[in-house]
Structure 1
Amino acid sequence: MKQCRRARKAHIDKANALSVTKQCEVLQISRSSHYYRKVPQSNLNLNLMRLIDEEFLNRPWKGVPRMTNWLQQDMGYAINKKRVERLYRVMGLSASAPGPATSKKGKGKKHKIFPYLLRNLNITASNQVWAMDITYIPVQGGYLYLCAVIDLYSRFVVGWSLSNTMTSEWCRDTVETAIGKYGKPEIFNTDQGSQFTADLFTEFITKQGIALSMDGKGRALDNIFIERLWRSVKYENVYLYAYQDGRACYDGLKQYFQYYNMERRHQSLAYEVPAQVYNRTKKEAA
């Protein structure tokens, strides 16, 4: 008997020997839709988060005090610093100069920091270096987190996913799907967020024979290409369409990433599209 998507999602079991990614494939549902559940917030908080998101995207050096002052003096909100601090935590923002860190640094035995491997590295082909990051996405009545994996040479987005929580499992499953489609990179770069330093994530990457690299603390320029991706995603899609719910957001982003990979010409790529550069210069996995 054919079941609806909601019924098929009910069969997913995180304790199962199969990963969530494989279970979603068997059940023929989107992994992104499995992870999405709306996160409620007050209308005031949602409005503030939307303003903070755009302001921080343009001025990532703004910490909580400066952002609070901007919201009070320039935007007319009678709010206190504690509210802004709380929203920064919810959104995964940190103004450690010169830019944002997507999530808190992991602590304890089950978290490990890896050295930064991209300094002075000459990136000459696709599948040489992939990078991953997470950003906040507003939707009507709530918000989501978007993670993406980008090939640094070609700017080709090899994987992405939506979720209402930032977990290592979610990040691992997104990378696993990307590897299944496009092979393995030689180096995989992230920030030092707890999702990426957790054993569950780091062991998955290293067991693939991939060298794991992590940005230096407070060094937004280490991951500059994916930060540029977030600007494009938000200004060319998310802010324009103000999605009503998670399903609409997923469908809209799916169309956007198809456009970004297959049609959007980049000045830095001599006005070629990412897919052309990626396919022409791809290093095959060993």
Structure 2
Amino acid sequence: MSVARGCDLMGLPRSTYYDVPSIPVDDPEIVSRFHAVCDEFETYGYRRVGAALRHQGIVVNSKKVRRLIREHDLQLRRRTRFVATTDSGHDLPVFPNLARGMDPDGPNQLWVADLTYVAVVGRFVYVALVIDAWSRRIVGWAISRSIDTRLALAALEGSHRIAATPRGVCASLGTREPIRVDGLSQAAS
């Protein structure tokens, strides 16, 4: 007799014959496997831990993984991708915010500048931008692997080639020492 005929005689769908019942796994077993995965791969999040458990044959819902993390206070180590661009703990002079209260009504009256970092192929590069506050147009920029005065000066020099010098205010570029450029005042923002 065929499988189809036998299932038909019993009134069962054929899929019941081929179904492999899953063996229920209790929470302590999942938690112990969870610890084993986290000990080997410290930066795995709940998604990767769930995938690793499924790879070991334990089918567990991502919501259950998150619940067990919360209930058993299992703190996963988070990978921090942070680069400090501001050093507020120094004895250098703090410049006043000359841009506060200024409301430019045309281009090249107020330039503001800042630096940030960008992750590029496994490392960070620093980007300095000089922006016209009225038009929001980038009038100068520079990229460097190190954060120093040369980066800020390169961005300012690039802005002088593109646009006319503003009336005298350029916001801080976050450098450690003062920047001296004719016609511009360094300020804090």
TM category, shorter: 0.5 to 0.7
Indicate which of 152, 158, 166 corresponds to 2:133. 152
* Partner residue, 2:98: 117
For 1:189, the aligned partner's letter is A
Distance in 1, matches of 2:95 and 2:142, equals 24
- Return the structure number with greater relative CO, CA threshold 8 A, min gap 6: 1
Moved more, 168-177 or 152-161: 168-177
Q: 2:177 aligns with which of 198, 203, 217?
A: 198
Quote the offset at 1:77 in angstroms: 7.5
Q: CA RMSD in A?
A: 3.0
Q: How many residues align?
A: 120
1:37 aligned partner: none
TM-score by length of 1: 0.37
Unaligned runs of 5+ in 2: 1-41, 44-68
Amino acid at match of 1:105: S
Matches within 5 A, 1:210-221: 210-215=184-189
In structure 1, list runs of 5 or more residues that go unmatched: 1-43, 46-71, 93-101, 216-286
More helix by share: 1
What amino acid does structure 1 have at the position aligned with 2:170?
Answer: F
CA offsets per residue over residues 37-56 of structure 1, 9 Å max, x none?
xxxxxxx99xxxxxxxxxxx
Deviation at 1:162, TM superposition (A): 1.5
Shift of 1:211: 2.6
- Give the TM-score, by structure 2 length: 0.53
The reply on whether 1:181 has 2:162 as its aligned counterpart is: yes
Q: Distance in 2 between matches of 1:179 and 1:185?
A: 9
- Return closer, same or farther for 1:149/1:78 CA change in 2, 3 Å cut-off: same
CA contact (8 A) 1:106 1:198 kept: no
Runs of 4+ deviating beyond 3 Å: none
Map 1:127-276 to 2 at 5 A.
Answer: 127-186=108-167, 187-190=169-172, 193=174, 195=175, 197-199=176-178, 201=179, 204-205=180-181, 208-215=182-189
- 1: CA distance between counterparts of 2:105 and 2:138? 17
CA radius of gyration, larger in = 2
